Amino acid sequence: MKIYSTNVVESSNVFRMRLREARKKKFSTQAKMAEAIGFDTETISRWERGEREPKISDLSLIAEKLDQTVAYFFLKPGQSVVEDDEMTDREAIRLIRRGLEFLENQAEEQHTDEPVRTNPSYRVRNQAFETARELRGKKAEEKSG
């Protein structure tokens, strides 16, 4: 499993910069990206200008179409990918907490009334906790082995 280093930037500007960077690499134009993900060009333009952010449920699709992880959009530009066994527990926890903060903010902004188990933020949160459990288990195996 690959995850990104945890030099997380707090600014929401990071998302728009990373989106633009990934879009230019994969699709070159907003129109090509819009066609690939099923949104209009104006929506993508607003995301890149920082006027709006996509819904959590759309973030996974965007990441997939741009060949990125969701974490990519919340880290400093130029951060390299590291293997999870190179990441310290403290870094992993920091990354997971930052992701959870984003999910909480998105849920508040969207005022969703979806049942919790069908809400996309619930699934993403569970993935974050599963990653934390895996890291903890791996660390315990190393200590006992």
Task: Find, among 64, 63, 83, the residue nearest to 73 by Cα.
Answer: 63
Residue 2 pLDDT greater than 50, yes or no: no
Condensed to tens digits (0 to 9), the pLDDT of residues 89-142 reads: 777 777 777 777 776 666 666 665 555 555 555 666 666 667 767 777 776 777
Please give the CATH number for the structural domain made up of 2-144.
Answer: 1.10.260.40
Phi-psi category of 69—alpha, beta or left, where left has phi over 0 and alpha has psi -120 to 50? beta
pLDDT at 94: 73
